[in-house]
Amino acid sequence: MADTVRRIAHIDMDAFFASVELLRYPQLRGQPVVIGGRGYDPEQRADGSYVFKRLRDYVGRGVITTATYEARAFGVGSAMGMMKAAKLAPDAILLPANFDSYRHYSRLFKQAVASIAPDIEDRGIDEIFVDLTHVDGDTQTIGARIKQAVQDATGLTCSVGITPNKLLSKICSDLDKPNGLTVLGFDDIPTRIWPLGVRKVNGIGPKATEKLASLGIETVGQLAQADQGLLQDYFGAHYAAWLTRVAQGIDDREISTSRESKSMSRETTFERDLHARQDRATLSGILTTLCERLADDLKRKDYVSRTISIKLRYDDFQIVSRNVTLPQAVAEPAAILQAARECLKRVPLQRKLRLLGVRASTLEPPGAMASAQQPVQGDLFA
């Protein structure tokens, strides 16, 4: 089988945005730091020292972009509402996001990897897949070379998983964070992958995890041994077949090195189902963050978009999407957000939501793009 000879790496920068900020503010190393919001820049004293804002100072509807591992120890995490996070870690340092700096270090880290292995699939500002199949050398040694090259180029650490396919490598890059290197083959699946919780598999969200737990399936190994008919009864034939394949570590996807993007998207599955009215502020913050990240992807790839879409998955797993084609191509966060809200006005919102996504398509290089209107952020479903 072709998978047995492949060597696919997933490289994930460790707490990337926060780590970039620590290069600028090394005095914050070892402290809980949260990145997100706007207008909370540190104040510089006459002697050159800084006075940093604290998470308890935050007022608004924003969500966390990322956090240091010290902040995560308090239960704070990406896409969490800032006001909620302030209750968990009120003394955490609060810094605004600086996407220009993140893009700079993203380019450096990808260039460093490309100098060793040029077959790269770009998955975002802080992660890539790399095909190492035809790179000379021992797998462990190549992984160590990549990590050292990234650190030399950026001053930052990354975690690397190297396996026969993308599915397993994505899991493995997260097993020994931060600064980890995990190498495994198909023979290692029973001992290294099967003991993991099913939530470790990319594509199994909180709701599916809850449903599987109700069936007595909590680990990947238990999923691998589950009755196919039982899974079909609860998840449908397509998703059940996928669950069975991933539990066995099967993934035939190739590395996509094409530079031409037909579309770009950002989406997130919620830790709990959210309601359009009761959780409006939380949803608004999440949507704003998704649009900001999508705008950053467009800018990094040097595209503008004429079609913006939203994707919703309800608590019953039904998916609905809407799109709007704009008279002028956009790439700014506020313009994407405004278009996404126009789409939301055409979506029924009686059921709770478990996933929200934003997509940009009809991509083109930036030309004579008119200045986009900059709306004031309001309610998500205004």
- Contact call for residues 17 and 65 (beta carbons, < 8 A): yes
The active-site residue out of 70, 121, 127, 292 is 127
Distance CA 302, CA 366 (A): 7
126 belongs to an annotated ligand binding site: yes
Question: Is 174 marked as a binding-site residue?
Answer: no
- The strand ranges marked E within the chain are 8-13, 33-35, 43-44, 50-51, 53-54, 66-67, 93-95, 120-122, 127-131, 158-163, 181-183, 263-274, 304-314, 319-330, 353-364
State in Å, rounded, how far the first CA of the chain is from the last one: 53
Length of the chain measured in residues: 382
Which of 179, 154, 14, 36 is closest to 94 using CA atoms?
A: 36
What CA–CA distance (Å, rounded) separates 185 from 173?
Answer: 14
Q: Judge whether 127 counts as a catalytic residue.
A: yes
* Phi, psi values for residue 377, rounded to 5°: -60, 130
Strands 33-35 and 93-95: parallel
Q: How are strands ordered across the β-sheet holding 120-122? A: 120-122, 127-131, 8-13, 158-163, 181-183
DSSP letters for 257-279: -----SEEEEEEEEEEEE-TTTT
Helix (H, G, I), strand (E, B) or coil at 309: strand
Cβ–Cβ under 8 Å, residues 217 and 226:
yes
Task: For 329-347, give the DSSP string.
Answer: EE-SHHHHHHHHHHHHTTS
Percent helix, percent strand, percent coil in the chain, to nearest 5: 40, 25, 40
Which residues carry a binding-site annotation for Mg(2+)?
12, 126
Which residues are designated catalytic? 127
